[in-house]
């Protein structure tokens, strides 16, 4: 099973940029799609972006489309989330996750389709 560790969170001003990284251990990394989710206190975890095994296809939540970019480097076992034009409402704990469907080319927005999660990294966007 893939083990995941996020980094790159912190405090950023509205309109600024931040890049999150998620380092994966295990040889299965390039065999599964990856996703980013986020969670605000007292709210359910919500989908942000997902990327296929090869990195050729991506999918975004409407709230981040055009501002966030997900990418991956299979040689480095790492997935990234570049966040631009950040808004106060982007403040949340961000989690990367590995899709449970081995060798699938499908992308999912459902937390139930992911079976490995990082510990999360907090992104705070200030005015």
CA distance 33 to 31: 7
Residue 45 Rama label (left phi>0; alpha psi -120 to 50; beta): beta
Q: Check residue 119 and give its pLDDT.
A: 97
The structure tokens 């999660």 sit at 117
| pLDDT at residue 2 is higher than 90 | no
In this predicted model, what pLDDT tens digit does every residue of 66-114 receive, in sequence order?
Answer: 999 999 999 999 999 999 999 999 999 999 999 999 999 999 999 999 9
pLDDT per residue as tens digits for the range 8-60 = 999 999 999 999 999 999 878 999 999 999 999 999 999 999 999 999 999 99
Predicted pLDDT of residue 78: 98
């Amino acid at each position: 099973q893939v083990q995941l560790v996020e980094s790159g969170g912190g405090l950023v001003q509205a309109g600024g940029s931040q890049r999150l990284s998620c380092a994966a251990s295990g040889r299965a990394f390039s065999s599964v799609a990856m996703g980013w989710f986020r969670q605000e206190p007292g709210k359910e975890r919500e989908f942000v972006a997902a990327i296929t095994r090869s990195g050729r296809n991506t999918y975004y939540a409407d709230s981040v489309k055009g501002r966030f970019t997900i990418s991956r480097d299979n040689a480095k076992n790492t997935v990234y989330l570049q966040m631009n034009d950040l808004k106060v409402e982007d403040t949340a704990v961000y989690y990367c996750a590995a899709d449970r469907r081995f060798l699938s080319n499908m992308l999912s927005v459902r937390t139930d389709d992911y079976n490995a999660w990082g510990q999360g990294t907090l992104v705070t966007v200030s005015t």
